[in-house]
Amino acid sequence: MNMNRTVALGLVFAGALFASGCVKETRPLPILQATQATTEIPAEHLLDVGVHILDPGVPKEVEEDPELMDKRRIYPEIRQAEARYIAMQLRDTLEDTGHWGTARVVPSTVQSFDVTVDGRILESNGAYLKLEVTAYDATGRVWFAEREYEGRADTRAYKDGYNNGRDPFENVYVAIANDLLAARGTRRAAELANIRKVSEMRFAADFAPVAFSQYLEKNKRSGEYKVLRLPAEDDLLVQRINQIRERDYGMIDTVSENYAAFSERLEEPYTSWRRYTFDEITAEEKLKAQARNRMLMGAAAVAAAVFVPDSCSSNNCARVADAARYGAMAGGVAAVISGYRKREESKIHTESIKEISSSFQSEAAPLVVDVEGRTLRLTGTAEEQYAEWRRLLHELYREETGLVPTTPVQPAADSTTPAAQSSGAG
């Protein structure tokens, strides 16, 4: 009976080792599509969307600790590149729906759009993406705040020969685009037209607050804006402001186009980095699971071999029991050693991830372009470049009008009437 138990234990142990090596194949995700416009949308309802460069989401403790950086797979240089790249992917998704006016990727200092989208990267690697997104319009009304979107990679995008150009995390961008459309759908036609008017007046009031703040009203409680009245279309000051805004949009277009060029240049090495990182993460998780199972089963086998009772009455029975006991113990020790080897292999994969990331960082160098004789470096300093551009626009306005702009808009009239709920569409 004891011998049978030992043999059974050995069979269970072997079966467990075999099972620990089996890994289920990851199935491709369903392909989701953003809702497309099927009818013509009136021009006054085609809101322009500004997608801010994302917050890379790099914790301070990670920036200061290289070991923690490797452990959590958060590499600041890569996150900086992703902050631009992911914003461009979202912009493309929105633009392709036909539901919006223009969609541009811009530094976070740009606030002249009808609708603005802010985002932060919570987690990003080749296997998983998680974002936090906030959307609001020019009136100051929040469409949704700090909403989380997450998804696993569509592994088809990592296969050789897969050339439909779909991002492995396109489903995440589709979810955001559909939520923005749903939020817009809760606004009446008059509200959409008001958003565009407020956007225009806020831009004008930034350059000429004395002249244009009288057309705006800001609610003290909600901070939302509404247009009280509009200036005459043939007002010379309005015409100058419109010219300034066209120049500003020209600069914004240039910035957005260069972000697009940066993303195109980045696409190949970044996709490769994602694919290899996905492979490394998958392999590492598999090895860790195998190591854990082998060590547990090995320890169990050793313990079983040590504590099997010896109740044989004959020499042959004793020899068989000893052989089974020693065999189980040897197998258990071998399994433990194998587990430690697997763990060391996982460390090698971690180092490989680090090397791939370092290689990617060198390829994702900042993009430097020339804009109207000014050098613009498309990294975190792009916001400073745009701030300098706006300063030059203010100088240009002063030269053309002879007026001296004062502080940014502070509407003269304030309403104390409570506004409607600031969050729409959930």
If 0-12 CB within 10 Å is exposed, 13-18 middle and 19+ buried, where does residue 125 land?
Answer: buried
Q: What sign results for the dihedral spanned by CA atoms 135, 138, 139, 140?
A: positive
| Domain coverage including residue 233 | 43-264
If 0-12 CB within 10 Å is exposed, 13-18 middle and 19+ buried, where does residue 2 land?
Answer: middle
Instruction: Give CA angle at 242 (237, 245), nearest 5°.
Output: 125
Statement: residue 418 has pLDDT above 80? no
Residue 56 lies in a domain: yes
Rounded to the nearest integer, the mean pLDDT of the chain is: 75
Distance CA 40, CA 21 (A): 56
102 compared with 372, residue with greater pLDDT:
102
Residue with tokens 């004959």: 314
DSSP, collapsed to helix, strand or coil, labels residue 66 as: helix
Residue 230 lies in a domain: yes
Structurally, the chain folds into a number of domains equal to 1
Residue 392 lies in a domain: no
Residue 353 lies in a domain: no
Task: Count helices and strands (H / E) in the chain.
Answer: 10, 10
Residue 258 lies in a domain: yes
Residue 91 lies in a domain: yes
Residue 396 lies in a domain: no
Distance CA 181, CA 117 (A): 13
Residue 132 lies in a domain: yes
Query: What confidence category does residue 424 fall into, taking pLDDT thresholds of 50, 70 and 90?
Result: very low
Distance CA 38, CA 309 (A): 78
Distance CA 141, CA 419 (A): 10
Query: What confidence category does residue 278 fall into, taking pLDDT thresholds of 50, 70 and 90?
Result: confident
Reading the block at residue 340, the tokens are 């430690």
* pLDDT tens-place string over residues 338-368: 555 655 654 665 566 556 656 555 655 555 6
